[in-house]
């Protein structure tokens, strides 16, 4: 059985007070669900978010981390620091990190290994750009991102991996991949993992879809057999919208 997951990526939004208010609203409105529900506030508010959600089943996850254990990396955060405040899961490879902060496949592979070495759970993001899709190169790009980021892991490590397929052209644009496009890519991802590892890993890893998921399209996207949930940006900043998406799963 694959975990169903709905995760909210808050990106660089919400100050301390706003974070507290949104978390209070989310925990009050969380419906009964078998899905895992996660939120990723900014680094400065992670520790207080963990405390605020102590009695909630909503998990607090990080948006990023550095691959080094510690040292002279001004502005960076390590796996140990996250663990020390009770954060067990980290998003790695978000397209905004790749595009705006120069995170290459090589850097991301190091981050994935560093997090897994500390027994953290990794939500690994990847997805093609519009040009790739227009030139019919999207399957190649996605296969390459998976290979470079994850394919020299031990089979055992996959139990701590969650995948998030996020076509860059659908992130924050209001344009969503159609449920058919999402399903087609998720099935391709499982096939690619089966070839590189085995069908058991491919069929047990949760694959989330991300990119303009909203209350109005979530049911249809989540109804696809290979879509196990969503990574939600904009709509995760409004409690009622995020909870409508949680209900959709």
At 6, which helix (H) or strand (E)? Answer: strand 5-9
Question: Could you say which of 4, 5, 6, 9 contacts ligand PGA (CB under 6 A)?
Answer: 9
For the CB of residue 220, give the shortest distance to ligand PGA in the complex, in Å.
Answer: 15
Q: How many residues bind ligand PGA (CB under 6 A)?
A: 13
Asked whether position 211 contacts ligand PGA by CB under 6 A, the answer is yes
Asked whether position 167 contacts ligand PGA by CB under 6 A, the answer is no
* DSSP annotation string for 202-236: HHHS-EEEESS--HHHHHHHHTSTT--EEEESGGG
Asked whether position 166 contacts ligand PGA by CB under 6 A, the answer is yes
Answer whether 237's CB lies under 8 Å from 245's CB. Answer: no
Nearer to ligand PGA, 107 or 218 (CB): 218
103 is catalytic: no
For the CB of residue 96, give the shortest distance to ligand PGA in the complex, in Å.
Answer: 7
Q: From the candidates 94, 96, 128, 138, which is the catalytic residue?
A: 94
- Closest by CA to 205, choosing from 131, 118, 146, 140, is 146
91 — phi, psi (to 5°)? -80, 130
- Name the one range near ligand PGA by CB under 6 A: 17-25, 29-37, 154-162, 206-214: 206-214
230 — phi, psi (to 5°)? -145, 150
CA gap 70, 27 in Å, rounded? 34
94 is catalytic: yes
Residues in contact with ligand PGA by CB under 6 A are 9, 166, 171-172, 210-213, 231-235
């Amino acid at each position: 059985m694959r975990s169903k997951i709905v995760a909210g990526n808050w990106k660089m939004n919400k100050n301390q007070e706003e974070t507290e208010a949104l978390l209070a609203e989310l925990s009050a409105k969380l419906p009964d669900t078998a899905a895992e529900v996660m939120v990723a506030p900014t680094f400065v508010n992670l520790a207080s978010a963990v405390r605020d959600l102590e009695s909630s089943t909503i998990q607090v996850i990080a948006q990023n981390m550095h691959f080094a254990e510690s040292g002279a990396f001004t502005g960076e955060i390590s796996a140990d620091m996250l663990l020390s405040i009770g954060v067990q899961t980290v998003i790695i490879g978000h397209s905004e990190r790749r595009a705006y902060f120069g995170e290459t496949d090589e850097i991301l592979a190091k981050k994935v290994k560093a997090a897994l070495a500390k027994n953290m759970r990794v939500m690994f993001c990847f997805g093609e750009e519009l040009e790739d899709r227009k030139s019919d190169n999207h399957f190649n790009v996605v296969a390459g991102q998976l290979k470079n980021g994850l394919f020299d892991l031990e089979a055992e490590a996959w139990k701590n991996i969650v995948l998030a397929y996020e076509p860059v052209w659908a992130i924050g644009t209001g344009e969503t991949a159609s449920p058919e496009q999402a399903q087609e890519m998720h099935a391709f991802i499982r096939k690619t993992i089966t070839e590189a590892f085995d069908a058991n890993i491919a069929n047990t890893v949760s694959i989330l879809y991300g990119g303009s998921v909203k209350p109005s399209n979530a049911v249809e996207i989540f109804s696809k057999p290979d879509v196990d949930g969503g990574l939600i940006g904009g709509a995760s900043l409004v409690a009622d919208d995020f909870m409508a998406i949680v209900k959709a799963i």
